[in-house]
Structure 1
Amino acid sequence: MKLVSSDKLKAGMVVARPIISDTGTLLLNSGITLNERLIELIKRRGIPFLYIKDERVDVKAEPLISPEDMARATHTIKKAFEAALQNNVKRSLPFDLEDIKNLVFNIVDVILKQNDLVVHLIDIKNADSYTFQHSLQVMTISLMIGKKMNLTKSQLHNLGMGAVLHDIGKVAIPKNILNKEGPLTPDEVEILKAHPRIGFELLQDNSKVWPTAKAVVLQHHEKWNGTGYPKGLAGEEIHLYSRIAAPVNVYDALVSKRPYTKSLPPHEAYAYVRENMGVLFDPEVCKQFLDIVAPYPIGTWVRLSSGYTGLVVSVKQGMVQYPDVTVFYDENMKPLKEPVTISLAENAILSIQEVVEEPTP
C-alpha cells in the first residue's frame, strides 16, 4: 500500500482504503480499479491523495475506526450539524444530541481497549465532507491524547463531546466565506472568527453537553501564548480539554485540502506543531501528540541518509519519527535485487532525509 497524490493517479491503479462521502456512504471502496472517469471524480471532489495497493509490500495497517463505522459516524455528525443549523435559524429548543453522545461513548470504548495508540494512516477527506470527517478526526486524536494523559472515562466523554462539536458554530457562517477560494478579506476573517462563540451559544442550554465540553467549542482557537481568540486566553487560563484539541485541530486542517489552501504533507504539519510547542500549543499536550501522530505515515516514500529510497511500512508508538522502511532503490535509483526492510528505531546510523514521490527509474 502506498500514498499517491491525486495528480499522479493512473488508470489501472487499485484503491487500498475507502473514501467516504458527506452522507456517510462509501464514495470509493477498497478494491476498486481506477479509470479516467473515477480519477476525474477524485480530483473534482478535492481529494488530495489516495492509498493505492502495491503488490510489492503486504502492509497490514488497520485504521482505529473501520470504514463502515467511520461512514456511520460521519453521517451522525452531519445530522447533528444540520440540526444545529435549524436551531440557529429558528431559535427553537435545544437540538437532540443523543446520537452524538452515543458516538462519543463508542469511540471512547474503542480507544480504551487499544494498547498501541498511533495515527499511522492519514484520514483522507473529500471537500464535501471535510467538516464532518474533520470533527471525527479531531475527536479521535484528542481522545488518544487524553488517554495518554490518564484522563478518566468520564473526562474522556466530555473531551470527546467538545472535540466532535468544536466547529458546530460554523453552521452560522455563510457558505461563501467557508468555501471561498483564495484569501479572506479582513471583514470575512472577523465573521469566521465568530464561530467559537456562536457554537458555544448554540450549545449553552443543551443539558447533554457539560460545561467542560462547551469550553472546547469556545476555546479551541485560543493559543498558549495568548494570541488566539475569542478572549486571548493564555497558558492554563485555557481549559485542558481545549488545549488538547487545539494542536489536533490545526494539524488535521493542515493535512486536508480546503477551498483556499492546498494540503500539507503530514511531516510538514507535524513539524508545524513541534515548532509551536510551548508557543501556540501546550507543551505537555504537544509531547503526547508528537508521540502518537506519524510524520511519515504508512505508504509514504522516503529517501534515507544513505541515499537509498523506500516505503514506510510500519510505525510504532513513541517512535513515530523512526518507522520501518522497506528499501527498493539504491542511491542511483537502481532497483535492489531483493528489497530489505530496515527499522530506523534500531538503526541509529540511518535517518529519513526527505519525503519523495514514488520513484520512476
Structure 2
Amino acid sequence: MLGKRIKIDVDYLRPNSTFIYPLISEDGDVVLPPRVALTTEKINAIKARYGNILYYNDNGQMAVIPTFRMQIARNKSKEIMHEISHSQKISKVAFHEAEKVIIDIVNDLTSTEILALNLLKDLKSYEEYIYNHSVNVGILSAVLARMIGTFNKDEIKNIALGGYLHDIGQMQLDKNLLEKEGKYNITDIQKMKRHPQLGYETLKKIKDVHPIVLQSVLFHHERYNNNGYYGLPYDNLPIYPKIIGLCDIYDALTSKRPFRSAIEPSNALKAILNAINQQFDYQLINIFINKLGPILNNTQSFYTHNDICELNTQELAIIKDFGINDMLKPKVIIFCKFQRNGEQLLARFYEKPLEIDLSQDPNNRYMIKIINNYKQLQSIQKKLEEKKLL
C-alpha cells in the first residue's frame, strides 16, 4: 500500500534531519533511505540532481501509537462526553476506564522512539471534533511532557489524562453555543469561560483524582500575558496546564471546523512562535517547536528564506538560513530596531545591518515572531529594497 504521497521542498530541509520513510524523486527513484541523516553536502547534491521537490509515501504504519489504540481512546471520550452531557457528572468507573486508556497510550509512547503522530482529524460535526480533539490533546501533551524530559512516567500519565479530559466541562454548556458558527459575542464568551471550572468541579467529586489532572483542567486557558480566562499570574501556575493549553491551541488550529478550514502544520507552528511571551513562555514554545514541531511538520522548516522576523531585542531581521540546532535561532541580517516615542512606535533602520548566526550570538537574541501582516510586510520590504537588502 503506497498511502498518501507527501511533497517535500528541499529548500526547507535542515542538516541532521532524518525521515521515517525513504525520500523519492518524481520518477520514483529512492533519493534518501529512511533514518539516514542529511548533511549540507547531501542536500546540495540532491538539489543538483533532482531539483527542489521530493516525495515520500506515508502509509500510516509508522505512527508511534497504533490506530486501534486511538480508536479506543476516541470511543471512550465519546462515552464520557455523553455521560456528562446527560447526567452532569462522570462516574468513578468511567474515570478509571479513561485512566486505563491513557496508561496504554503512555506505555506506547515510553516504550518506543517517537517517529510519527497520526492525529485524529476526520471530522463531521462538533461532536466528532470534541471527541477527536480530546484524544489529540492528550497524546500531544504526553509527547511534549516526555520531550521536556523532567517528568516521570506517572506524571506523564496524569498530564496526558488532564489533556484527554481538559474540555469535559463543555459538555455541561448549551449545545447550540458549542455548535455556533462564526464569532462568539460577549455573552457567548462569558458562558464558554465557565467550562474549565465546570470540568474541575465534575472531576473533584471523584475520590483520588490526581492534582495534576485537576490543575490541568482548571487552568488550561491561562496565558503568559495574564489575560487568560481567570487572569491568573502565569508565573505562579504549574507547568502542566501550560503544556495542555499549548497542545490545545495547536490541535484546534490544525483541525477543520464548520466556520473555517484546517490550518497547515507549518502555519500553525508559525502562529505558536508568534505566541512567545504573549500566550506562553519562550522555553515551552522552544521545546514544542524544536522537538515536537519536526514530527508534526514532516521534518520541514515552518519559515522560509527572506521571511521577516522580530527578535526578543525589539529588532527586525531577514532570515537568511535555517537554525540547525535551534529553529528559533537562524542566520539573519538585522536591519532595524523599534524605539518608543510616547504613544508612537518608531523604526530606526541601521546604517550597517548586522549579519549574525543567532545560535552563536553573545547577546542571546532569538526569534519571537514571523511578520505576516500584509501591510507591514509591504512597508518593510519597500524600505529593504531601497537599501538593496532584498
TM-score, structure 2 as length reference: 0.59
Aligned partner of 2:166 in structure 1 is 166
Q: Distance in 2 between matches of 1:319 and 1:82?
A: 43
**Residues 274-293 of structure 1 deviation map (CA, whole Å, 9 limit, x = unaligned):** 11122201322212211212
Distance 1:207 1:126, change over 3 A: same
Establish whether residue 234 from structure 1 lines up as the match of residue 237 from structure 2.
Answer: no
Q: Distance in 2 between matches of 1:94 and 1:318?
A: 46
CA contact (8 A) 2:63 2:116 kept: no
CA shift, 1:126, in A, is 0.6
Establish whether residue 111 from structure 1 lines up as the match of residue 114 from structure 2.
Answer: no
Aligned partner of 1:127 in structure 2 is 124
- Aligned partner of residue 97 in structure 1, secondary structure: helix
CA shift, 1:198, in A, is 0.6
Matching residue's letter, 1:186: I
Matching residue's letter, 1:148: M
Matching residue's letter, 1:126: L
More displaced stretch, 159-168 vs 272-281: 272-281
Distance 1:216 1:147, change over 3 A: same
**Residues 39-88 of structure 1 deviation map (CA, whole Å, 9 limit, x = unaligned):** xxxxxxxxxxxxxxxxx744455222222221111001111112222331
Aligned partner of 2:11 in structure 1 is none
Q: Distance in 1 between matches of 2:170 and 2:258?
A: 15
Aligned partner of 1:14 in structure 2 is none
CA contact (8 A) 1:215 1:242 kept: yes
Q: Distance in 2 between matches of 1:295 and 1:154?
A: 24
Bigger RCO (CA 8 Å, 6+ sep)? 1
Matching residue's letter, 1:99: E
Matching residue's letter, 1:108: V
Establish whether residue 2 from structure 1 lines up as the match of residue 5 from structure 2.
Answer: yes
**Residues 167-217 of structure 1 deviation map (CA, whole Å, 9 limit, x = unaligned):** 000101111111111222211111111111111111111125212211111
Q: How does 1:39-50 map to 2 (within 5 A)?
A: none
Q: Distance in 2 between matches of 1:58 and 1:190?
A: 46
Distance 1:123 1:294, change over 3 A: farther
Percent identity between the two aligned chains = 23
- Aligned partner of residue 2 in structure 1, secondary structure: strand
Q: Distance in 2 between matches of 1:157 and 1:116?
A: 16
Q: How does 1:52-131 map to 2 (within 5 A)?
A: 57-59=56-58, 62-88=62-88, 96-116=94-114, 119=117, 121=118, 123-128=120-125, 129-131=128-130
Q: Distance in 2 between matches of 1:58 and 1:93?
A: 43
CA contact (8 A) 1:118 1:294 kept: no
Q: Distance in 2 between matches of 1:181 and 1:151?
A: 39
Aligned partner of 2:192 in structure 1 is 192
Establish whether residue 260 from structure 1 lines up as the match of residue 263 from structure 2.
Answer: no
CA shift, 1:164, in A, is 0.4
CA contact (8 A) 2:106 2:156 kept: yes
Establish whether residue 139 from structure 1 lines up as the match of residue 138 from structure 2.
Answer: yes
- Aligned partner of residue 263 in structure 1, secondary structure: coil
Matching residue's letter, 1:105: I
Matching residue's letter, 2:108: V
Structure 1 residue runs without a partner (length 5+):
5-55, 306-316, 322-361
Q: How does 1:185-334 map to 2 (within 5 A)?
A: 185-229=185-229, 231-291=230-290, 292-294=292-294, 297-298=297-298
Q: How does 1:17-56 map to 2 (within 5 A)?
A: none
Structure 2 residue runs without a partner (length 5+):
8-54, 306-323, 329-390
Computed over aligned residues only, the root mean square deviation of the Cα atoms, in angstroms, reads 3.2
CA contact (8 A) 1:138 1:245 kept: yes
CA shift, 1:138, in A, is 0.6
TM-score, structure 1 as length reference: 0.64
CA contact (8 A) 1:145 1:285 kept: no
CA contact (8 A) 2:102 2:157 kept: yes
Matching residue's letter, 1:2: R
Structure 1: which 4+ aligned runs deviate by more than 3 Å?
56-61, 91-95, 116-119, 294-300, 302-305, 317-321
Instruction: Count residues in correspondence.
Output: 257
CA shift, 1:99, in A, is 1.2
Aligned partner of 2:374 in structure 1 is none
Greater Rg, structure 1 or structure 2? Answer: 2
